[in-house]
């Protein structure tokens, strides 16, 4: 498990899981849904520990887990084995390549046909269950139809519609929330040592995902994200309203080409531009609520020059491009059209 094996902002899921443990009514199968990086897998591992811990009452296991600061790590034999991934009865199934293949589910079935080695409760965690191809899904359905004893299956995925309805209907569904901006900021400041302004920017861009926030502040990425923002805003001359449309078209095309090179960061880069445009609008009404506080001077300048209507049109142009890209539209053409719209200034 990662060093951030904490569960944040998941009050409801924790209440439900604690109730199962308290009443000893643990379902045969659980389905954890929610966006990437909100703690589904961490919670599944914690639940496996709660079911098997040798020193604490199972139902007390999640108590205090909402507090990132307290170390409540249990060092009993079972918990240590589970944490290190060496417990024979805590089985993890993950996509091998792009898919969870039928061979993986078949070998799981063979294991489940035997009794657990040592666990009170065997736990199977199928991560990213949407990666099951149809034949793997059908093989898993057979397991769910005849649940093996002393075993719980936990499936994780983004949304329940990713899975066969016949699978969903056999699982107790637990929904995980996006993590609040405030909680992400606190972690970035307390645990990663970011200053408050940088933490606010990264927390906003991470949109509720702790894993995404943490990946953005990896030593190699941290500076690069803040630099990337400056580059984006400078290149678009967003800090110099009135200049934008005076640049030669060829420089927009070069910018679109540069953006399209890095597909992994593209959507985030577009979010950065949106957050800046949003700030320019927000500044007009509540200057204290802007996100990019360190850019306040150029945001102030831009807010005097650009009308809200224009800014909204630009944000809309980015949204349209983001949707198009997700739907598989031609990257270069989409970005070129978007950059042109960002550059366009209505002549009064
Ligand atoms: Zn323990």
**271: which 2 tokens?**
């979010």
Distance 312 CA to ligand 1 centre (A): 53
In angstroms, rounded to a whole number, what is the distance separating the alpha carbons of residues 21 and 16? 9
What dotted CATH number matches 218-343? 1.20.272
pLDDT band at 220 (very low <50, low <70, confident <90, very high): low
Distance 75 CA to ligand 1 centre (A): 6
pLDDT digits (tens, 9 = 90+) for 73-123: 889 999 999 999 999 999 999 999 899 999 999 999 999 999 999 999 999
Distance 74 CA to ligand 1 centre (A): 5
Confidence at residue 248, expressed as pLDDT on a 0 to 100 scale: 72
Average pLDDT over residues 282-299: 88
pTM for the full predicted model: 0.78
| Phi/psi-derived region of residue 137, left when phi > 0, alpha when psi is between -120 and 50, beta in every other case | alpha
pLDDT digits (tens, 9 = 90+) for 32-48: 999 999 999 999 999 99
Distance 65 CA to ligand 1 centre (A): 14
Domains 11-175 and 218-343 fall in the same CATH topology: no
Distance 8 CA to ligand 1 centre (A): 21
Q: Looking at the predicted structure, is the pLDDT value of residue 162 above 60?
A: yes
In angstroms, rounded to a whole number, what is the distance separating the alpha carbons of residues 155 and 20? 17
pLDDT band at 291 (very low <50, low <70, confident <90, very high): confident
For the chain, the domains span: 11-175, 218-343
What dotted CATH number matches 11-175? 3.40.50.300
Distance 43 CA to ligand 1 centre (A): 15
Distance 57 CA to ligand 1 centre (A): 9
Distance 334 CA to ligand 1 centre (A): 53
Distance 115 CA to ligand 1 centre (A): 22
């Amino acid at each position: 498990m990662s060093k951030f094996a904490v569960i944040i902002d998941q009050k409801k899921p924790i209440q439900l899981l604690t109730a199962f443990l308290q009443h000893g009514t643990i379902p045969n199968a659980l389905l954890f849904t929610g966006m990437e990086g909100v703690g589904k897998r961490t919670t599944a591992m914690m639940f496996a520990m709660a079911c098997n811990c040798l020193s604490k009452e199972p139902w007390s296991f999640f108590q205090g887990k909402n507090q990132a600061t307290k170390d409540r790590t249990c060092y009993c034999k079972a918990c240590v084995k589970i944490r290190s991934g060496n417990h024979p009865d805590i089985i993890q199934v993950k996509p091998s390549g792009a898919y969870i293949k039928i061979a993986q589910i078949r070998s799981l079935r063979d294991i489940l046909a035997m009794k657990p080695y040592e666990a009170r409760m065997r736990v199977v965690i199928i991560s990213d269950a949407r990666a099951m191809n149809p034949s793997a899904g059908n093989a898993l359905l057979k397991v769910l139809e005849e649940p093996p004893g002393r075993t719980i299956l936990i499936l994780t995925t983004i949304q329940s519609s990713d899975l066969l309805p016949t699978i969903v209907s056999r699982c107790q569904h637990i929904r995980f929330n996006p993590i609040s901006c405030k909680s992400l900021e606190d972690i970035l400041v307390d645990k990663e040592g970011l200053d408050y302004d940088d933490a606010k920017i990264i927390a906003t861009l991470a949109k509720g995902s702790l894993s995404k926030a943490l990946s953005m502040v990896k030593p190699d990425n941290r500076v690069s994200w803040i630099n990337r923002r400056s580059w984006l805003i400078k290149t678009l001359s967003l800090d110099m309203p009135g200049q934008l449309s005076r640049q030669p078209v060829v420089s927009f095309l070069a910018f679109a080409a540069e953006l399209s090179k890095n597909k992994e960061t593209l959507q985030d880069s577009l979010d950065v531009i949106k957050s800046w445009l949003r700030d320019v609008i927000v500044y007009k009404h509540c200057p204290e609520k802007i996100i990019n506080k360190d850019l306040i001077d150029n945001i102030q300048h831009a807010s005097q020059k650009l009308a809200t209507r224009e800014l909204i049109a630009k944000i809309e142009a980015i949204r349209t491009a983001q949707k198009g890209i997700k739907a598989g539209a031609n990257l270069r053409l989409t970005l070129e059209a978007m950059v042109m719209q960002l550059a366009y200034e209505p002549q009064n």
